[in-house]
Amino acid sequence: MDALKDKDVNIIGISGMGGVGKTTMAKEIVKEAEANRLFEEFAWADISRDPTVTKIQDELDERLSLNIKDITNESVRARRLRKRLGSDRSKSILVILDDLWEDTVLGKIEIPSAGYNKGLKILLTSRNNRYAKRWELKASALIF
């Protein structure tokens, strides 16, 4: 929970083998964050092994009101998501990306990079802990 309050932490990673409780832990973190009103908005997307950019964007749209369901161009959808997450610096937003298998997904859906918006935090769950090393996460949890 400290990482959620830390202004210098933008991306939080939870990693571990399949079935050890990464998603459950993420849900508990969200529940605590909601109870303590740490964020004004929450958006959850299940990434899974073979994600489609459109599916992920649609899941984020449900909570962030991007109004992109009728837009078919993935680039336009991605730009709208990036603008929404990056430009509204007055709101604190927690984006949860559950079950990340490959980090190229982040670039495809255009989640802004760390530091782009200090009110934005990203919580990732993955079976692979190499993401924590690659992104030099300041906060990560390894679950066995």
pLDDT digits (tens, 9 = 90+) for 102-122: 766 777 777 776 566 778 888
Q: Which residues contact 44 (CB under 8 A, 6 or more apart)?
A: 30, 59, 63, 95, 96, 98
CATH homologous superfamily of 2-143 equals P-loop containing nucleotide triphosphate hydrolases (3.40.50.300)
Rounded-to-integer distance, Cα 129 and Cα 140, Å: 9
Q: Which residue has the tokens 């935090």?
A: 121
Eight-class DSSP state of 39: -
Q: Which residues of 65-101 are buried (b: 16+ CB within 10 A; e: fewer)?
A: ebebeeeeebeebbebbbebbbebeeebbbbbbbbbe
d(CA 94, CA 33): 9
Assess contact for 90 and 119: CB atoms under 8 A.
yes
**Per-residue pLDDT tens digits of the chain, which is 144 residues long:** 788 888 778 888 888 888 899 999 999 999 999 999 999 999 999 988 888 888 999 999 999 888 898 999 988 988 888 888 877 667 889 999 999 887 667 777 777 765 667 788 889 898 877 765 565 555 554 443
pTM: 0.85
- Token pair 């950019």 is found at 53
Angle (CA) 49 27 88, round 5° = 85
Please report, for the chain, the start and end positions of each structural domain, with discontinuous segments joined by +: 2-143
